Amino acid sequence: MNGEVKNYLLALQQQLCDELQRYEQKVHIITDEWQRPAGGGGITRVLRHGDVFDSAGVNFSHVSGENLPSSATNHRPDLAGRRFEAMGISSVIHPVNPYVPTCHMNVRFFSAFKDNEEPIWWFGGGFDLTPYYPFHEDVLFWHQIAKKACQDFGDAVYPHYKDWADRYFYLPHRQETRGVGGLFFDDLNQQTWGWDFAKCFAFMQSVGSHFWQAYGPLLAKRYQMPYGQREQDFQRYRRGRYVEFNLVYDRGTLFGLQSGGRTESILMSLPPRVSFEYQWQPKPGSQEALLYEHYLKAQNWLA
């Protein structure tokens, strides 16, 4: 089953890289293949400082080890002391234009082993959207595609994983969501919904394959919009929230660092240009204030 999952992930990585490269004429995706001393390795593919993308990366990793790190076992004590194998795709896109949202997608598969016991396996992943100057119709479209990714798996699936994304992509020290959410799921196995391996794998594929269906049209619609220094300054200030979340709360970042992954690949998710300001506040009634007042709060966008 690992071979099936790996083939899908590598094909998804290639598809996303092809989509990204279509927008760039002057810069090309850098490909780094790397090995992890403790077991496994990966392929990092990154596009930097382009006309459309400040940074866009699509990472594949397939690693193994003798013990899962604490980021995995803290909420799953049954995994402690087990050997593991993990593979996944992680993509983070930071566009140049402040009117185009940052976005993130990750899908992954884990197996944990112990002598004389059945392996434990599970899937996880999701995607979320982080706009700086949000458009309501774009947010609705994003969630419509997220719902579409779930619709063949039962009516309860989208609201469950949409709510999980709202809770997961949240900065408690700021009391705000990272963006407008999307989907997040973890520990998906035969006990979650009663699905067998094939259906769990099919759901992971649906999430991964709907990501560009959700993001590509938003990118195409907004990347040529005119903007000025004010919008760029706000984008870089808000990117600081992305840094805070990824370095403090993100499970994938913590797992990668704790498991001895390749640091350059793990921190590919961070924006190349970002600023931090002391006690900055948006002007009342401004476009910037609208983001805080309406969009950085969990809500039912499709109501």
Domains of the chain: 1-295 (3.40.1500.10)
Determine the pLDDT at residue 125: 97
Contact 92, 103 (CB under 8 A): yes
173 assigned to a ligand binding site: yes
143 assigned to a ligand binding site: yes
Determine the pLDDT at residue 256: 83
261 assigned to a ligand binding site: yes
**pTM exceeds cut of 0.75:** yes
Contact 125, 107 (CB under 8 A): yes
Question: At residue 127, what is the residue type?
Answer: F
Exposure string of 274-284, with b = 16+ CB inside 10 Å and e = fewer, is: beeeeeeeeee
167 assigned to a ligand binding site: no
Question: At residue 297, what is the residue type?
Answer: K
Contact 42, 262 (CB under 8 A): yes
210 is catalytic: no
Cα–chain center distance at 148: 18
Catalytic residue among 28, 62, 75, 104: 104
Question: At residue 130, what is the residue type?
Answer: T
180 assigned to a ligand binding site: no
CA–CA dist 5, 26 (Å, integer) = 33
- What letter does residue 2 receive in the DSSP assignment? H
Determine the pLDDT at residue 69: 66
Contact 46, 268 (CB under 8 A): yes
**3-class SS letters over 93-153:** EEECCCCCCEEEEEEEEEEEECCCCCCEEEEEEEEEEECCCCCHHHHHHHHHHHHHHHHHH
94 assigned to a ligand binding site: yes
Nearest CA among 141, 130, 123 for reference residue 170 = 130
107 assigned to a ligand binding site: yes
CA–CA dist 64, 25 (Å, integer) = 37
Write down the residue that tokens 């619709």 correspond to. Answer: 151
238 assigned to a ligand binding site: no
pLDDT in tens, 23-60: 999 999 999 999 988 889 999 999 999 999 999 999 99
Query: Helices marked H in the chain — which ranges?
Result: 2-21, 70-73, 136-150, 157-168, 197-222, 229-248, 251-258, 263-266, 287-290
Residues of the chain falling short of pLDDT 70: 69-75
